[in-house]
Structure 1
Amino acid sequence: MKRELLNIIIEKTERSSLDWKEGAQGNRSFLVHQELYDQVGKTEFITQAKELEKQGLITIQWESVGNDIRKICYALRDLPRMYEQLGIPPKSQVIEEQRRAVDEFSLSVEGVWIKEYLNHCLTRLEKGNVPSEFSKRDLLFQCLKEMDRLKEPLYKRVFSKYCLGDSKVFENEFQSTVLSIARKFHPGIEEGMNDTQILSQLLIEEYSQELALKGPLWIRVDGKKINLGEFRFGAVLNSLTLTHAMPEKGENIKRVLTIENKANYMAMPYDEEMLIIYSHGFFTPKEREFLINLRDMLPKGTQYFHSGDLDYGGIRIYSYIKQKIFPEVKPCQMDTETYRKYETYAVCMEPGILKKLKCMDMGEIPELTVLRDLLARKGKALEQESFLLIPKEDVDISKKHCH
């Protein structure tokens, strides 16, 4: 016997929030419309209905006996027999197995963001909704478990090979899911971070983390002191250096300036009293740790500034630096005067970004409220690279703007 009608009954039951649960009682029914006949074929539909009625699984209410069915009636207590005929496990059994797997996995991880995700999964399961990503649940959990254990950055393909046995499986099959989970539940993820930046927060690297800086800073690496001030055109600290390096001396540093875009960073001349740092957007965890150690080492009274794009993303990055690294930071070339000076180069924002800009909570960064309001009125954003176009003497912002 074909099973299309049984599948229809099961699908209708499983769409309910309660009827699929173990021990459910009561009677249910549904009207038979032409689309159901079309789905199965009228003759076949009626044949299957008669057979199920003989088995005591349904009751038929006829519109025209033998020719047209008005309604199909069935009892929830008979669902186990229907599942048995279909050869599939009851939804209540599937949900319970998924719930046990989530509970068990939750005990093996410590990350708060992963546990919050798992609690969200339990809520969905309680409502009878199996997360779509659970089609590869065990491998997904394996990825999350290994991420939870990471203490140092690891290249993405090395992580994939170690965790999943193939260097490309993570990127091809699990990266988008992990990114979606992280965006919703990881406290270190800021709106505006791209995929690479989010993975960096999870200590998964597409390439080595590199912190570019120039200024009169000494660092200590494996017991050896290094004067970065000797590198007048800038130095780059890679992932391993960031892991082993500690800021050592910075008595001459009176100001710290972070710059969002590389061209602007490269154009800045060396300053004997300023440490200039390329932020490339959002700092990674290792960079953030190094900069917090730097902040703790520098004397009180050191001034901190950030210069970035005059747009939604630039404001988000400034807020991130203020909340996560330098609480005393002030904006540099992020004001209405700068915007109007280079407004010729401003470009229209996408409607969705403009809406987000207008809805931004400026409670933590009131100093950028006037700029935000101007950007919202104009509907145009200004990239920091525009500052390099005119006039040339404005490249050195260290004394003119950062005070």
Structure 2
Amino acid sequence: MADDDDKSAGRGAALARKALERLLARAENAAAKGPAQTDRAGRSVTLPLSEKSFPEYLRLQRHADKAVCNASLQLAELDGAISVEWDHRAGERAHVQRILLRDGAGLARHLGIEPRWDVVALAKRQFEPHVAAHPVLAHVLEAWRKGNLLRGTRPGEVASWLDSIQVMQYCASRRGDDIAIRRLSASLFRDSKRIEAIWPALDALVQGDATMVQSEMEELFSELGLVKFPPTLLVAGNVAVSYGDETVRASRPYVGFAPSVIRSAHVDPGSGQRLLTVENLTTFHEMAVQRPDDAIVIYTGGMPSPSWKRAYVVFLKALAPTAALHHWGDIDLGGFRIASHIAKCCEQEGRSLRLHGMRANAVLPGTVTRRELVPSARREILRICERWGWGDEAGALGALAVEQEAMDPCWPE
């Protein structure tokens, strides 16, 4: 008999707590709009114990279970956290019609739960020193106020964002260098894989916008100079490179260099009339074999790292002012983001970059494998094209992405 009483007490108390927690959740949502006790329209926060809102209460089979549940709700009422409305047709305090919030903070204390508004307020204080430099943190707080996840972080999970800022600050201090990602992660956080775990938040901070399409992880790390191993810059062309303490010619079909060691370059007269960068390795090999004497081809290795971009500028400085600069990559967001980084290198040297092979309407339907281009990615591609004056590519953009490897190799006219 005692066991049955214990079970009833347990069931009844657990159900009352569930109802109170649901009321607190409603209060947290209301607090995102106004005072914790009301929503934006000033309506009180309530929870009807009805078939629609809380059917578990109506399905209690045992009188003892219901009595314990009712008693537990009355304790919260005595604590000043809620008010209980009774259905008087069922008898004296026999059936609860609904519970009403009286004190959101009091309800949270009664339950021993830190309410979301306190969690977000603490996060706001922790973010305060960084919001000016990283306005995206304001959007993080707004999402958390509503109880939403942002870039995989729940309300109050500030560590992912603060650690990401620490990574960005370190990378900025080593701009142009390649940084061993797991060594840095172990040094900063005593966890060699911490940076890889927080990359969605890191990406939002780097992009400056948490709503933009998330980068690929490897693209993000390359952009910051974070590498698992030092990159190799592959070059095909009639060019001599000052490499460390010696001069190395880029013999056919191509030569690989550590970009951080490249000091300068000398292009043979008449051979540096055009420079083509290529996103994907398969296409680079094909273009290197087919290379005309007046062309230089460089493999980007996906998203170019800071050391790659520094080496690329070395080649730009070696070219004649009239040399044509082209880039060929995937017709997708990643491909246009890569092109944008290279275009910025050119702009800093007073030059302009043109795209090659990235007009979607020039690819015959059915000849390559395509995939859907989500609307948000399409919008960002159009923004990039507008930024760099790539009007033809913007006008040709459709609803499908095209991988570079699926297209036949060809040279810019």
TM-score range, shorter chain: 0.7 to 0.9
* 1:301 CA displacement: 0.9
The 2-side partners of 1:192 and 1:50 are apart by: 49
2:36 counterpart (20, 23, 26): 20
CA distance in 1, matches of 2:331, 2:122: 51
* Matched AA of 1:121: V
Residue deviations 1:121-160 (CA, integer Å, cap 9, x gap): 3444666778635655336523430332121322222222
Which amino acid counterpart does residue 216 of structure 2 have in structure 1?
N
- Number of residue pairs aligned between Structure 1 and Structure 2: 367
Q: Partner of 1:391 in structure 2?
A: none
Paired amino acid for 1:247: S
Q: Corresponding residue for 2:282?
A: 263
Relative to structure 1, the CA distance from residue 90 to residue 381 in structure 2 (aligned partners, 3 Å threshold; closer, same or farther) is: closer
* Match of residue 285 from structure 1: 306
Q: How far apart, in 2, do the equivalents of 1:176 and 1:19 lie?
A: 32
Letter in 1 for 2:234: A
Q: SS at the partner of 2:72?
A: helix
Counterpart residue number, 2:139: 120
Structure 1: 5+ residue stretches without partners:
389-393
SS at match of 1:96: helix
Higher mean alpha-carbon deviation, 316-325 vs 157-166, is at 316-325
SS in structure 1 of the partner of residue 198 of structure 2:
helix
Q: 1:273-322 deviations in whole A, cap 9, x for unaligned?
A: 32211123332222122223432342211122234456676566545533
Equivalent pair of 1:257/1:274 in contact (CA under 8 Å): yes
CA distance in 1, matches of 2:381, 2:243: 45
Whether the 8 Å contact between 1:346 and 1:383 is mirrored in structure 2 is no
Q: Counterpart of 1:32?
A: 49
SS at match of 2:199: helix
Tell me if 1:228 matches 2:249. yes
Equivalences for 1:54-69 in 2 at 5 Å?
54-64=78-88, 65-69=92-96
Spell out, residue by residue over 1:352-400, the C-alpha distance to the aligned partner (whole angstroms, 9 max, x if none): 4899399845542123356x26x66xx6846445426xxxxx7xx4xxx
Task: Extract unaligned runs of 5+ from structure 2.
Answer: 1-8
Aligned ranges 1:170-319 → 2 under 5 Å: 170-171=195-196, 173-179=197-203, 181-182=205-206, 185=209, 194-222=216-244, 224-229=245-250, 231-238=251-258, 242-250=259-267, 252=269, 253-267=272-286, 268-269=288-289, 271-309=292-330, 314=335, 317-318=338-339
Residue equivalent to 1:48: 72
Q: Is the 8 A contact 1:261 1:384 kept in 2?
A: yes
CA distance in 1, matches of 2:106, 2:331: 65
Question: Residues 258 and 37 of structure 1: is their aligned pair in 2 closer, same or farther, counting only changes over 3 Å?
Answer: closer
Q: Distance in 1 between matches of 2:98 and 2:330?
A: 64
- Match of 2:265, as an amino acid? E
Q: Using a 3 Å threshold, how does the CA distance of structure 1 residues 129 and 260 change in structure 2: closer, same or farther?
A: closer
Instruction: Write out aligned runs for 1:117-156 (5 A).
Output: 117-124=136-143, 132-133=153-154, 136-138=157-159, 140-150=161-171, 151=174, 152-156=177-181
1:166-188: CA deviation from partner (whole Å, max 9, x where unpaired)? 323443x32344345545639xx
Matched residue SS, 1:209: coil
Write the distance in 2 (CA, Å) between the matches of 1:325 and 1:286. Answer: 15
Please give the TM-score of this superposition, normalised by the length of structure 2: 0.72
SS at match of 2:301: coil
The percent identity for this pair of structures is: 15
